[in-house]
Amino acid sequence: MGANKHNPDNRLDNVEKIQDAIENTEENIIAANETLSFSSGEEKQAIQDKNERRRKSIDGMKEEMQDEQEARESGYSNDNI
């Protein structure tokens, strides 16, 4: 068997990646809301439920982004990643 090499954890751009994910999720909420007027009752409820899950996900991503920002400010270095 060949040796599997573990990829190092590169946290240097995590804040930016999380911010992009938040923006994409917010755009998905907007797009879904635009379809509500064309949806039936059951579809509307499914869209609203999914958007609520998206909002909760955004809250979690914001917390994670804050953690990453604090780690960045406390000086993690390439030796630690």
Summarize pLDDT for 31-67 with one digit per residue, the tens.
Answer: 999 999 999 999 999 999 999 999 999 999 999 999 9
Total residue length of the chain: 81
- Give the gyration radius of the chain's Cα atoms: 18
Model pTM score: 0.79
With left for phi above 0 and alpha for psi between -120 and 50, is residue 75 left, alpha or beta? left
Residue type (1 letter), 60: G
